[in-house]
Amino acid sequence: MSRPVVEFWFEFASTYSYLSVMRIERAAAAADVDIEWKPFLLGPVFLALGWNDSPFNIYPPKGRYMWRDLERLAEKEGLPFRRPSRFPRNGLLAARVALVGVEEGWVAPFARAVMTANFAEDREIGEEAVIVEILGTLGLPGAEVITRAQADANKLALRCQTERAAELGLFGAPSFRVGEELFWGNDRLEDALAWARRA
């Protein structure tokens, strides 16, 4: 029998996606569940909901709570954290590269490295030079990967995946899907894994 699968929908600019990206492989291995990585863009999803910015920026009290919560949770998980000097950052290129990584099997270490750059090192993950450097540290040919990521077919694939997220009713990241069941938020990761085991 094949192992149960959880779809993991994440965004590189998303604060709580940082926490999930850094811990999902360990948690999934312990639960004996496979992960299907689904990078997407929150910007178009938010626009469809009538927001032209992150709700953490639109609603300052919510934003203040989120940053303090992230500090606490990062400390709990033993993760480094430095509040980004710009939020949200542009995760478009990283998401396109991540789609290539899904196809080639290196999306997990790439995603962790990009999240670390954004939320622990305060680096501009929207800059090609930063992404190329990250790819190089993973032993990957940065320029070649960028070329594949920026190909029209891959751009369309990310657009379609983002549209699919909206069709499925996703409204934030991270989100987890098990069949038709949706779980939203880093604190629902374990629930999603448990549901996959039950299913």
Q: Which residues are catalytic?
A: 14
Specify the DSSP class assigned to residue 133: H
Cα separation of 61 and 24, whole Å? 28
Question: How many Cβ atoms from other residues are within 10 Å of residue 22's Cβ?
Answer: 21
Q: What single DSSP character describes residue 35?
A: E
Structure-block tokens of residue 137: 């540290």
Alpha helices in the chain (DSSP H): 15-31, 42-48, 55-58, 60-77, 92-104, 107-119, 128-137, 142-149, 152-167, 189-198
